[in-house]
Amino acid sequence: MSVEMGAMLDALRGVRWPARRPVAAGLPGAHRSRQRGTSGEFTEYRLYRQGDDPRRLDWKLLARSNRAFVRLTDDRALVPTWVVADASASLDYPLQETNGRPTKWDLLRAVAIGLAAVAHAGADPVGLLVASGNGARLAPRTRRGTVREVSRALYETRCIGASAIAPLLAPLSPNCRIVVLSDLLGDLDETLRTVAQLIAAGAQVDCVHVVAVEELELPEGVFLAVDPDESSSLPRALHRGARAEYRRAFDEFRAEAARRWRASGAGYLEARTDASPARLVRHIVSGAAGEVHADASSGLPLGPNDSPTERRA
């Protein structure tokens, strides 16, 4: 783990990542559960109905009022968190750092480790799925060293080939929290279909769309563009006349992707490579990604100077 990563984890110390809505029943944890259980945190009374556990009767209240009430309490549960990282060849862009900006994979890796650290600090099990690349898979765990394992797996990953995120998401349990980090240049349609099914089943999904600044501001000159993901596709000429058309199409794609993710009920955040990873993590865990969905239809991405707090305000 690099020095920069350590500084980012220091910056995220104390940050909590509450679930956006009650989670399914599970092991005791920090998130409010949809199950009314027997914990000591009283919530309300309810008239006894046949079939209720007699041990939950409030005998003192029965003695005073001669009516049988059942004592209800909120349950707290853990939420397993899956960090799904897209390691397709397109993430390895630009090929080297330019103007101090990291590559898309560098940013994705930092955000993934930050999210894993925050979730792990909240005692949530953290797992890792890597699409493409070496296909690393770490089951959600809460033990010590989980973040280190996640970090090691990500650092050992090489961006190769095309991504297929949907097959990774399909077998996941809906009783979990999923963060998809990708440039969305792969199987976007299938991924969105799978995500919609998971969300409908109760999963909490966030999408971090990684965009390189160099993709927005293409370099000057005439080039022959080749898609690293789809090597079989014909190359296309990048020249002055094509820039405006490219930018318009790319803007439309990003806006459409944001709209579709938000429409499916997932959170969406566009992360440029010139943004701070720690700030992006704070933005995601605060739930602002989901809130931004509502007001970010303007397509405004989170820039390097935007803070999640300001966004929430």
Partner 1 sequence: MIGVGAPWILGLAGLGALVTVVLHFLSVRRPPVMMLPTMRFLPNRAVRAVSRSARPSDLLLMLMRAAALLLIGVALAGVTWKGTGVKHGRIVVLQRGAGEDIALAQRAVTDAMRGAFTGDTVTRMVVIDSATRVLSSAQSRAFKADTLTAVARSRFDNSVATPTLSAALLAGIRAASAVVREERTVEEVDLVIAAPFTRASIDAAMPEARAMWNGTIRLVDTHASVPQVSEADSAMTARGVMFAGERPNDAVAFAFAARGWAVAANSNTARFAPLVSGQPIVLEWPASGVPSGWTATTPDTIGAVVARGRALVFPFVRSAQIPETISKQGRAVAWWSDGQIAAIEIPTANSCTRHVGVSIPASSDVLQGQGARSLLLALSGPCGGEAGAEPSLSAGALHELEGAGNLAPARAFRSSTVVRTPWAAFLLVLALALLVAEWWLRDQEEAAVRSVEDELNALGKVA
Give CA–CA dist 273/104, Å, rounded: 6
| Stretch in the footprint of partner 1 (CB under 8 A) among 22-30, 42-50, 71-79, 215-223 | 215-223
Residues 268-307 that bind partner 1 (CB under 8 A): none
Give CA–CA dist 246/234, Å, rounded: 16
Residues 76-95 that bind partner 1 (CB under 8 A): 89-91, 93, 95
Give CA–CA dist 9/119, Å, rounded: 12
Task: Give the CA distances from residue 135 to residues 87, 128, 199, in Å, rounded to whole numbers and listed in that order.
Answer: 8, 10, 24
The pair of three-digit structure tokens given for residue 13, joined into one six-digit string: 């110390």
Judged by CB under 8 A, which of 66, 96, 99, 232 binds partner 1? Answer: 232
Q: Least distance from C-beta 286 to partner 1, angstroms?
A: 29
Q: Least distance from C-beta 244 to partner 1, angstroms?
A: 10
224 interacts with partner 1 by CB under 8 A: yes
Give CA–CA dist 296/233, Å, rounded: 33
189 interacts with partner 1 by CB under 8 A: no
164 interacts with partner 1 by CB under 8 A: no
| Minimum CB distance to partner 1 smaller for 90 or for 194 | 90
Task: Give the CA distances from residue 121 to residues 112, 149, 295, 307, in Å, rounded to whole numbers and listed in that order.
Answer: 14, 15, 30, 22
233 interacts with partner 1 by CB under 8 A: yes
Judged by CB under 8 A, which of 169, 172, 176, 185 binds partner 1? Answer: 185
161 interacts with partner 1 by CB under 8 A: no
CB within 8 Å of 54: residues ≥ 6 apart: none
6-9, long-range: CB within 8 Å, 24+ apart, which pairs?
A: 8/110, 8/113, 8/114, 8/277, 8/278, 8/281, 9/113, 9/114, 9/117, 9/147
| Stretch in the footprint of partner 1 (CB under 8 A) among 13-21, 190-198, 240-248, 293-301 | 240-248
Q: Least distance from C-beta 132 to partner 1, angstroms?
A: 13
Radius of gyration over every alpha carbon of the chain, rounded to an integer in angstroms: 23
Q: What is the 3-state secondary structure (H, E, C) of 262-298?
A: HHCCCEEEEEECCCCHHHHHHHHHCCHHHHHHHHHHH
- Note whether 30 and 124 are within 8 A (CB): yes
| Parallel, antiparallel or unpaired: strands 126-131 and 137-141 | antiparallel
| Minimum CB distance to partner 1 smaller for 66 or for 96 | 96
| Minimum CB distance to partner 1 smaller for 111 or for 172 | 111
Judged by CB under 8 A, which of 7, 139, 201, 226 binds partner 1? Answer: 226
DSSP 8-state assignment for residue 5: H
Judged by CB under 8 A, which of 219, 295, 298, 313 binds partner 1? Answer: 219
Binding mask 244-263 for partner 1 (x = CB under 8 A): -xx--xx--x----------
DSSP 8-state assignment for residue 217: S
The single-letter code of the amino acid at 222 is: V
| Stretch in the footprint of partner 1 (CB under 8 A) among 28-36, 112-120, 132-140, 216-224 | 216-224
| Minimum CB distance to partner 1 smaller for 58 or for 229 | 229
| Minimum CB distance to partner 1 smaller for 249 or for 300 | 249
Q: Least distance from C-beta 274 to partner 1, angstroms?
A: 17
Please tell me whether residue 69 adopts helix, strand or coil conformation. Answer: strand
| Minimum CB distance to partner 1 smaller for 100 or for 221 | 221
Give CA–CA dist 288/162, Å, rounded: 30
List residues binding partner 1 (CB under 8 A).
Answer: 89-91, 93, 95, 104, 183, 185, 212, 215, 218-219, 221-239, 242, 245-246, 249-250, 253
